[in-house]
C-alpha cells in the first residue's frame, strides 16, 4: 500500500513538472531582447519556474525517486534538476554563448549554482563521483563569483566535496575540504551553530580513520558541547555524538569513559524510541547495546557482555520481523548472532563443562541464522552451512525434535535449489526423528507437516499417486490434531491433494478438494488473502478442463484481483493467472482482453530464468490472438520469438518447432509472403520427415497448406495433387466420417471445379456435406463453404435450381454463424444475388445485392471488384424495371470503381456498354455513341475479337443508322456480322439481328434488293435456330413484308404478315399488342390494293386490341386515322370526321405536338371533312 501511495505521488509530481516545463517552453519561445519590463518579467517568471521544477526534484528525491532505472538512464529526480538548470540558464544565461552559469549580462547567477549543487549531491549519492565533482566545481566557481570566497553556500559545497573525498577513501583531501568548510562556518555563523557541530563530527570521523584518536575525541567532544547547548542533553543528535565519543575512547583503550558514553547514549536513544515502527531508532538502540556488550567483552566480563548482546538480539529480531526492515537490518542481526554464538562458545571453554548448555543455546541460534540467510537474503548456500552446523549441535545433544526441524529446513533449501532427491531424503529422515521425539504419540502437527512436505517432493518428481498417499496421511493426521474445523494447515494439504488429482485428470475429486480448501481459507484468512487467490486459480483450471468457461473466468478474475492487491505487478504467480485467463479469452475470441493479459504475463516471465517453456507457450497464444484480429505482423513476430526459444530448449528438429513453423507459414501465406510461407513449410516437411512416416496426419495438414498456396499461385494441378494426397492419408488413417476428411474433400472439390471437372467437383462436395450432416456439424464455416462450392458446380452444370438451393443454404448458415452484417455473409449474399439475377428472380436479386452494397460500404476494406459487379447488376435490374435513371446511377458508380482497378479494360468496357444502352434508350445518341466507342476501344486493346466486341460494333452501327450516317453504319454492321461469324459462327441469333439492322440501312438507302437479302438472311438464321413458330420469326417476316410493300408486291407482303399473325397468335394469344400491330400493317396493305372491306376488318380488330390494352395511344391514333380514311373513301365523311377527331385526341394524348407530320395530316383531313360536310353547296 505504501508503495502504491509513493507511486501515485511520484506520478503527480512528474505531471506537475511537465506542466511547469511546458509553460517554460512557451515563455522561452516568445521574442525577447527588446529590453524594458517585458525582459524583466520574462527573466523573473522563468527563474520562478526553474525554482519550482527544482523543488519538484527535491520532493521526488525525498519519495525515493532518485534511483535510475537501467544502465545509462537518469532518475526522475535528476531529470528535474537538469530541467531546472536549463530553465534557469535560459532566464539568466547569455543566450547561446555556451555559458551555463552566467546572467543576462554575462555574469554568473546564484540560482544556477543552486541547481548544480543539487545535481552534484545526486551524483554523489549515486557514486558517480566524476559527475558530482564537475557539478560541485561549477557550483563553487559560480558561488565564489557571485557571493565571494567566504560564504555559506561555498562552505556547503566544500563540505559535500569533503564528504565525497571521504567516500572515495582520499582522507587527506577530505580533511582539507572539511577543515576549510568548518573554519568558514565558525567565522560566519559562530562556534555554536549546529552546522559547525556537523563539521566537527565529520572532521572527527576522518581523524579517527587516520588513527588520530585524541584529535578525533576533541572534535566529537566539541560537537557534543554544541549539540547539548543547541538541542539539549536528551536529543538523539546528542546521543549520536556520545556514541562517537565512546567509539574513540574504545580506540584509546579508555573503556570506563567509553562505557559511560555508551550508557548515556543508550538512555537517550531508548527515551526517544517510543514508536515501534521507528526502525532506525531501534537500530540505534541496538548499536549502543552492542557497543556496551563489546566493552564488557573487552574487559573480560563475558556474562555482562552476553546480557547486553541478548538485549540487542531481542530488539534486532523485532526490527527484522517488521515488513519495512531492510537487508542492512538483517545483516546487523546476523552479526549479533555471530557475537552471541562466539561469546557463548568461549564461555563454555572457559568453564570446561561438557558444552551441553552452550549447545542448547547455540543450536537454535544457528538455525535462526540459516533461516535469515535463506528467506531474507536469498543466500541458500550460507543457509545450508548454518542449518548443518545447527544439525550437528542437535545431533550431539540427541534432540530428535530439533534434528527433525533442522532436516526439514535443509530439505526446504534443497527444494528451492531443485534437488528433489536430497530434499526427499531430508524430509524422510526428519519424519523418523520427529516420530522418535513424539514419545510414542505419532500424530503431531510437525509430523503431519513433514508428511505434507514429502508429498510436495513426490509431486515435483511427477509421482502423483505416491504424493496423494503422503498428502492423505498428512490430512488424516491434521484432522485428528486440529479437529473437524476450518484450519489453514488442513486447507493447505487439501489444496495440494487437489493439485495432484488435477494432474491425474480426476477433475471432480480435485474440485471437491479445492472447494473445501477455499472455504477454510476464506473463513480463517479473509476474502483477500493470497491463499484464497491460489485456491481460486486452481478451481479456475478445473473449470477450464471441464469446459465450464464462464465459471473458470469468474474464478480467475477474482484470483487475479487478489493477486494484484498482494503481489508486485511482475510477480510470477500473478503472471500464471494472467496466462491462464489470457488463454481462456483467446479461446473465447475476446482478443482485446486476452492480448493485454498475455503481454503482462510475458513481461513477468521474462524476469524468471526457469520460465522459458512457459514464455514460449504465452508467445504461441499471443500469436494466435494477433492472427485472429488480423494483426498478422505481430502474430508472426510472436511465433518467431517462440520458435527461437523452442530451438534453444528442445532443438531445431523437434516437432514443437515444426508446429510453430506451420503457424508462421499460414500467417506469411495470409500476408502474401508466399516465398516466406514456402520456406517455413519446407522446414516443417524436413522435420516431419525425420519424425513421422509418410502416412501421418501432420503430413496431410501440411499438404493442405501447401496446396492452398499452389492454388493461389495458379498451379492448380500441383494444388490438386496436394489435396488429393492429403485426402488419401486422411481416408487411410481416419474414420470415413471425420471432419478432416470432409475438409480435404472440399479443397479437392474446389480444384476439380476450377479445372472444369464439375462432375467430380459435385461428387466430392456432396460427400463432404454428407459427412458434416452425419457429424451434426452443418452449422460450421466449413460446411457453409462446401455448400457454396457445390452451388457453383451446380451452376456450371446448368442446374440453376439446385445451385440456388445450395447457395441459399450457405447463406443461411453464415447468417447463423456470423450474422447478416458480417463479411462472410456479404460474400455469399453476393453469390446468391447474382445467381438469382441469372435465373430471373429479380426482386430477390435486388434485395440481396442492395444489402451487399450497403455492407461493403461499412467494411474497412471493401471488395472493389465485387462491389462494382453488384452495382452493375443493380443497374441492369433498374433498367429491367424501366427505371433507366436509377440504373444509370448504379452504372456510373460501378464505372468509378472499375476505373481504379488494375488491368481494368474489360471491366470498364462492360459498364460503358451498359451506360451506352441506357443513353441509347433515352435517345441520348451522342452520349451513347461515345460510351460504345470507348467500350469498343478498351475491348479491342484487351481481347481483340469476341462476341461482346461484335455486340458493341453492332450497337455503334445501329446508332450511326439512327443518326442517318448510313455508310458508316453499313461498315460497322458488316464488320459486326463478320466478327460474329468468326467468333460464334454463322448460325447465331446476334448474326440474325445484325442482318436485319443492315437491312434497315439498305432500306434507308433505297437499295431494296440488298435490304431484302439481309432480311431474308436474318429470317433464315432465325428459322435454323428457333424453328418456324418463334415470335422472332414473326419479327423477321415483318421486315421482309416491309420490303415487299415498298416493292409494291402486296400479295407477298400480305403472305408474310399473315404468317407473322399466325405465329404471334400461337405464342401470344389473340389480344396481345403485337397482334394489333400486325393487323394494322395488314390493313395498310389491303387499303393500298383498294380492298377497303378487308382493310376495315383489320383496322377494327387492331383498334379493339389497342383500346383494350391502352399502353400505345399512338398506334391507336394511327389506326383511327386509317379507319377515317376508309370511311372517307366511301364518302362517309361524318364517320371519317368522327374517327379523325378521336385520332387527333389520341395523338395529343401520346405527346405529339400539332406540327408533327402525323398530327398535321390528321388536321388536314379534318379540315377537308368539315369542308365537305358544312360548306355551302
pLDDT of 73 above 80:
no
Asked if 434 and 452 count as a contact pair (C-beta separation under 8 A), the reply is no
Give the bridge partners for 102, in sequence order.
Answer: 108
Compute the distance between CA of residue 1106 and CA of residue 1095 in angstroms, rounded to an integer. 16
Predicted local distance difference test score (pLDDT) of residue 606: 85
Once rounded to an integer, what is the mean pLDDT over residues 425-437?
90
- Whether this model's pTM surpasses 0.85: no
Cα–Cα dist 701/684, whole Å: 11
pLDDT value for 998: 94
Radius of gyration over every alpha carbon of the chain, rounded to an integer in angstroms: 52
Angle, helices 2-28 vs 76-92, to 10°: value is 20
pLDDT at 219: 93
Give pLDDT, residue 869: 93
Confidence of residue 874 (pLDDT cuts 50, 70, 90): very high
Q: What angle do CA 36, 41, 44 make, to 5 degrees?
A: 125
For residues 666 and 702, the answer to whether their CB atoms sit within 8 Å is no
**Beta-ladder partners of 1049:** none
Partners of 108 in the β-ladder: 102
Report residue 535's pLDDT band, with 50, 70 and 90 as the boundaries: very high
**End-to-end C-alpha distance for the chain, whole angstroms:** 128
Q: Within 755-880, where are the H helices?
A: 758-774, 781-796, 800-818, 823-838, 842-856, 864-880
Using CA atoms, how far residue 596 sits from 558, 590, 621, 838, in Å, is 17, 11, 12, 49
Write the CA distances from 93 to 46, 55, 111, 781, integer angstroms.
11, 20, 11, 72
Q: Is the pLDDT confidence value at 71 over 50?
A: no
All three cell numbers of 1052, joined, read 407477298
Predicted confidence (pLDDT) per residue in 963-1018, tens digit: 899 999 999 999 999 999 999 999 999 999 999 999 999 999 999 999 999 999 99
Residue with cell string 435456330: 1025
- Render pLDDT for 1121-1170 as a digit per residue (tens, 0 to 9): 999 999 998 899 899 999 999 999 988 888 888 888 899 999 999 989 88
Band of pLDDT at residue 355, cut at 50, 70 and 90: low
pLDDT at 923: 86
Q: What angle do CA 652, 653, 657 make, to 5 degrees?
A: 65
Per-residue confidence band for 1, with pLDDT thresholds at 50, 70 and 90? low
Residues 556, 580: contact at Cβ < 8 Å?
yes
Helix (H, G, I), strand (E, B) or coil at 343: helix
Beta carbons of 135 and 117 less than 8 angstroms apart:
yes
The sign of the torsion formed by the CA atoms of 1060, 1063, 1065, 1068 equals: negative
Three-class secondary structure of residue 1090 per DSSP:
coil
Section 640-668 average pLDDT: 92
pLDDT tens for residues 826-860? 999 999 999 999 888 999 999 999 999 999 988 88
Angle at 564 between CA 563 and CA 565, to 5 degrees: 90
Distance separating alpha carbons of residues 116 and 100, to the nearest angstrom: 10
pLDDT band at 70 (very low <50, low <70, confident <90, very high): very low
- The percentage of residues in the chain with a pLDDT greater than 70, rounded to a whole number, is 96
pLDDT, mean of residues 147-173 = 90
Alpha carbons 159 and 255: distance in angstroms, whole number? 32
Q: Can you read off the three cell numbers belonging to residue 210?
A: 587516520
Q: How many helices (H) and strands (E) does the chain have?
A: 53, 0
pLDDT at residue 569 in the model:
84
For CA atoms 195, 200, 206, 209, the dihedral sign is negative
Give the total residue count for the chain: 1177
The alpha carbon dihedral of 198, 204, 207, 211 has a sign of: negative
**Cα–Cα dist 774/810, whole Å:** 17
Q: What is the spatial distance between Cα 1052 and Cα 1042, in angstroms, rounded to a whole number?
A: 10
C-alpha 851/C-alpha 874 separation (Å) is 11
pLDDT for 686? 92
3-state class (DSSP) for residue 102: strand
Torsional class of 209: left (φ above 0), alpha (ψ -120 to 50), beta (otherwise)? alpha
Q: How many CB atoms lie within 10 A of CB 764?
A: 29
Query: Which pLDDT score, from 0 to 100, does residue 60 have?
Result: 87
- Among residues 777, 686, 789, which one has the least CA distance to residue 740? 777
DSSP secondary structure letter of residue 610: T
914 Cβ partners below 8 Å, 6+ apart?
A: 872, 875, 876, 879, 887, 891
Closest C-alpha among 1097, 1096, 1165, 1098 to residue 1126: 1096
Q: What is the maximum span of the chain, computed from C-alpha positions, in angstroms?
A: 179
Query: What pLDDT was estimated at residue 396?
Result: 87
Whether the per-residue pLDDT at 88 is higher than 90: the answer is no
Whether the predicted pLDDT of 354 surpasses 60? no
Say how far apart CA 674 and CA 682 lie, in whole Å: 12
Per the prediction, the chain carries an average pLDDT of 89
**pLDDT tier at 66, thresholds 50, 70, 90:** low
375: DSSP letter: I
CA distance 619 to 605: 11
Check if the beta carbon of residue 875 is closer than 8 Å to that of residue 894: yes
pLDDT confidence bin for 935, thresholds 50/70/90? confident
Name the H helices within 278-377: 279-298, 302-321, 327-351, 356-371
Amino acid at each position: 500500500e505504501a508503495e502504491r501511495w509513493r507511486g501515485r505521488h511520484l506520478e503527480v509530481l512528474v505531471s506537475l513538472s511537465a506542466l511547469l516545463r511546458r509553460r517554460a517552453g512557451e515563455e522561452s519561445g516568445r521574442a525577447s531582447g527588446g529590453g524594458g519590463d517585458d525582459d524583466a518579467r520574462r527573466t523573473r517568471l522563468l527563474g520562478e519556474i526553474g525554482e519550482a521544477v527544482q523543488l519538484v526534484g527535491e520532493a521526488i528525491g525525498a519519495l525515493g525517486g532518485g534511483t535510475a532505472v537501467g544502465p545509462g538512464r537518469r532518475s526522475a529526480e535528476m531529470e528535474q534538476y537538469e530541467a531546472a538548470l536549463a530553465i534557469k540558464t535560459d532566464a539568466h544565461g547569455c543566450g547561446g554563448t555556451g555559458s551555463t552559469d552566467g546572467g543576462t549580462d554575462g555574469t554568473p547567477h546564484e540560482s544556477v549554482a543552486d541547481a548544480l549543487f543539487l545535481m552534484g549531491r545526486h551524483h554523489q549519492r549515486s557514486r558517480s563521483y566524476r559527475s558530482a565533482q564537475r557539478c560541485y566545481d561549477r557550483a563553487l566557481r559560480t558561488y565564489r563569483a557571485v557571493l565571494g570566497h567566504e560564504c555559506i553556500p561555498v562552505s556547503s559545497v566544500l563540505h559535500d566535496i569533503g564528504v565525497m573525498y571521504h567516500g572515495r577513501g582520499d582522507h587527506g583531501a577530505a580533511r582539507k575540504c572539511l577543515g576549510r568548510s568548518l573554519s568558514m562556518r565558525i567565522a560566519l555563523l559562530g562556534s555554536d551553530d549546529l552546522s559547525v557541530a556537523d563539521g566537527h563530527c565529520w572532521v572527527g570521523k576522518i581523524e579517527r580513520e587516520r588513527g588520530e584518536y585524541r584529535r578525533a575525541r576533541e572534535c566529537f567532544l566539541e560537537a557534543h558541547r554544541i549539540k547539548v547547548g543547541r538541542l539539549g542533553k536528551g536529543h538523539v543528535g546528542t546521543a549520536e555524538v556520545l556514541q562517537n565519543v565512546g567509539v574513540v575512547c574504545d580506540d584509546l583503550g579508555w573503556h570506563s569513559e567509553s562505557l559511560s558514553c555508551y550508557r548515556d547514549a543508550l538512555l537517550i536513544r531508548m527515551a526517544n524510541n517510543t514508536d515501534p515502527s521507528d526502525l532506525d531508532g531501534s537500530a540505534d538502540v541496538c548499536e549502543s547495546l552492542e557497543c556496551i556488550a563489546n566493552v564488557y567483552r573487552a574487559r573480560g566480563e563475558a556474562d555482562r557482555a552476553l546480557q547486553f548482546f541478548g538485549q540487542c538480539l531481542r530488539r534486532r529480531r523485532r526490527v527484522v520481523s517488521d515488513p519495512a526492515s531492510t537487508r542492512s537490518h538483517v545483516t546487523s542481526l546476523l552479526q549479533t548472532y555471530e557475537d552471541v554464538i562466539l561469546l557463548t562458545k568461549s564461555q563454555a571453554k572457559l568453564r570446561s563443562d561438557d558444552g551441553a548448555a552452550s549447545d542448547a543455546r547455540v543450536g537454535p541460534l544457528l538455525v535462526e541464522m540459516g533461516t535469515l540467510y535463506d528467506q531474507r537474503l536469498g543466500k541458500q548456500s550460507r543457509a545450508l552451512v548454518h542449518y548443518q552446523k545447527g544439525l550437528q549441535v542437535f545431533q550431539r545433544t540427541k534432540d530428535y525434535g530439533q534434528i527433525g526441524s533442522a532436516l526439514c529446513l535443509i530439505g526446504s533449501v534443497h527444494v528451492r535449489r531443485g534437488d528433489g532427491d536430497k530434499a526427499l531424503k531430508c524430509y524422510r529422515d526428519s519424519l523418523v526423528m520427529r516420530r522418535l521425539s513424539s514419545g510414542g504419540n505419532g500424530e503431531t502437527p510437525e509430523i503431519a507437516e513433514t508428511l505434507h512436505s514429502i508429498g510436495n517432493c513426490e509431486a515435483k518428481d511427477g509421482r502423483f499417486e505416491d504424493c496423494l498417499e503422503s498428502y492423505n496421511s498428512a490430512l488424516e493426521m491434521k484432522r485428528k490434531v486440529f479437529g473437524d474445523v476450518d484450519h489453514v494447515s488442513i486447507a493447505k494439504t487439501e489444496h495440494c491433494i487437489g493439485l495432484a488429482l488435477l494432474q491425474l485428470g480426476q477433475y471432480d475429486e480435485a474440485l471437491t478438494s479445492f472447494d473445501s480448501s477455499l472455504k477454510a481459507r476464506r473463513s480463517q484468512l479473509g476474502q483477500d488473502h493470497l491463499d484464497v487467490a491460489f485456491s481460486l486459480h486452481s478451481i479456475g483450471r478445473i473449470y477450464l478442463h471441464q469446459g465450464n468457461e464462464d465459471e473458470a473466468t469468474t474464478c480467475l478474475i477474482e484470483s487475479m484481483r487478489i493477486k494484484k492487491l498482494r503481489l508486485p505487478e511482475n510477480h510470477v504467480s500473478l503472471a500464471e493467472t494472467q496466462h491462464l485467463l489470457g488463454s481462456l479469452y483467446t479461446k473465447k475470441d475476446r482478443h482485446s482482453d486476452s492480448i493485454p493479459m498475455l503481454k503482462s504475463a510475458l513481461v513477468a516471465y521474462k524476469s524468471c530464468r526457469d520460465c522459458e517453456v512457459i514464455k514460449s507457450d504465452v508467445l504461441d497464444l499471443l500469436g494466435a490472438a494477433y492472427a485472429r484480429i488480423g494483426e498478422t505482423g505481430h502474430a508472426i513476430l510472436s511465433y518467431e520469438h517462440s520458435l527461437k526459444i523452442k530451438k534453444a530448449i528442445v532443438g531445431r528438429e523437434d516437432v514443437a518447432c515444426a508446429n510453430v513453423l506451420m503457424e508462421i507459414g499460414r500467417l506469411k501465406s495470409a500476408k502474401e509472403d508466399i516465398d516466406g510461407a514456402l520456406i517455413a513449410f519446407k522446414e516443417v516437411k524436413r522435420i516431419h520427415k525425420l519424425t513421422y512416416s509418410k502416412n501421418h496426419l501432420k503430413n496431410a495438414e501440411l499438404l493442405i497448406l501447401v496446396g492452398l498456396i499452389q492454388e493461389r499461385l495458379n498451379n492448380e494441378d500441383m494444388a490438386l495433387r496436394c489435396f488429393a494426397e492429403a485426402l488419401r492419408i486422411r481416408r487411410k488413417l481416419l474414420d470415413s466420417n471425420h471432419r478432416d476428411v470432409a475438409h480435404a474433400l472440399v479443397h479437392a472439390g474446389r480444384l476439380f471445379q476450377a479445372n472444369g471437372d464439375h462432375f467430380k467437383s459435385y461428387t466430392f462436395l456432396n460427400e463432404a456435406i454428407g459427412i458434416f450432416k452425419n457429424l451434426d456439424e452443418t452449422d460450421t464455416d466449413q460446411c457453409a463453404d462446401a455448400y457454396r462450392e457445390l452451388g457453383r458446380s451446380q451452376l456450371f452444370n446448368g442446374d440453376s435450381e439446385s445451385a440456388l438451393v445450395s447457395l441459399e443454404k450457405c447463406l443461411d448458415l453464415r447468417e447463423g454463424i456470423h450474422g447478416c452484417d458480417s463479411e462472410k455473409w456479404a460474400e455469399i449474399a453476393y453469390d446468391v444475388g447474382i445467381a438469382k439475377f441469372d435465373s430471373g428472380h429479380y426482386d430477390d436479386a435486388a434485395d440481396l445485392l442492395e444489402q451487399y452494397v450497403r455492407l461493403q460500404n461499412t467494411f474497412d476494406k471493401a471488395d472493389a471488384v465485387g462491389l462494382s459487379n453488384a452495382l452493375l447488376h443493380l443497374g441492369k435490374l433498374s433498367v429491367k424495371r424501366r427505371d433507366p435513371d436509377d440504373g444509370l446511377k448504379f452504372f456510373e458508380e460501378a464505372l468509378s470503381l472499375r476505373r481504379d482497378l488494375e488491368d481494368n479494360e474489360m471491366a470498364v468496357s462492360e459498364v460503358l456498354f451498359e451506360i451506352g444502352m441506357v443513353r441509347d434508350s433515352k435517345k441520348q445518341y451522342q452520349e451513347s455513341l461515345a460510351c460504345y466507342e470507348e467500350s469498343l476501344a478498351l475491348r479491342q486493346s484487351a481481347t481483340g475479337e469476341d462476341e461482346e466486341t461484335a455486340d458493341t460494333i453492332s450497337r455503334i452501327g445501329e446508332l450511326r443508322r439512327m443518326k442517318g450516317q448510313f455508310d458508316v453504319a453499313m461498315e460497322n454492321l458488316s464488320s459486326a456480322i463478320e466478327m460474329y461469324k468468326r467468333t460464334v459462327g454463322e448460325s447465331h441469333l446476334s448474326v440474325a439481328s445484325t442482318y436485319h439492322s443492315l437491312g434497315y440501312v439498305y432500306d434507308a438507302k433505297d437499295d431494296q434488293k440488298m435490304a431484302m437479302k439481309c432480311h431474308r438472311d436474318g429470317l433464315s438464321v432465325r428459322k435454323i435456330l428457333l424453328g418456324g413458330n418463334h415470335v422472332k420469326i414473326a419479327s423477321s417476316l415483318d421486315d421482309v413484308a416491309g420490303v415487299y410493300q415498298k416493292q409494291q408486291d402486296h400479295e407477298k407482303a400480305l403472305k408474310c404478315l399473315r404468317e407473322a399473325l399466325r405465329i404471334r397468335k400461337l405464342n401470344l394469344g389473340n389480344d396481345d399488342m403485337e397482334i394489333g400491330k400486325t393487323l394494322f400493317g395488314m390493313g395498310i396493305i389491303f387499303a393500298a390494293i383498294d380492298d377497303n372491306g378487308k382493310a376495315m376488318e383489320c383496322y377494327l380488330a387492331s383498334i379493339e386490341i389497342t383500346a383494350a390494352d391502352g399502353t400505345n395511344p399512338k398506334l391507336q391514333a394511327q389506326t383511327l386515322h386509317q379507319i377515317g380514311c376508309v370511311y372517307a373513301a366511301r364518302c362517309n365523311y361524318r364517320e371519317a370526321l368522327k374517327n379523325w377527331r378521336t385520332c387527333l385526341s389520341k395523338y395529343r394524348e401520346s405527346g405529339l405536338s400539332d406540327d408533327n407530320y402525323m398530327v398535321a395530316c390528321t388536321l388536314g383531313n379534318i379540315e377537308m371533312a368539315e369542308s365537305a360536310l358544312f360548306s355551302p353547296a
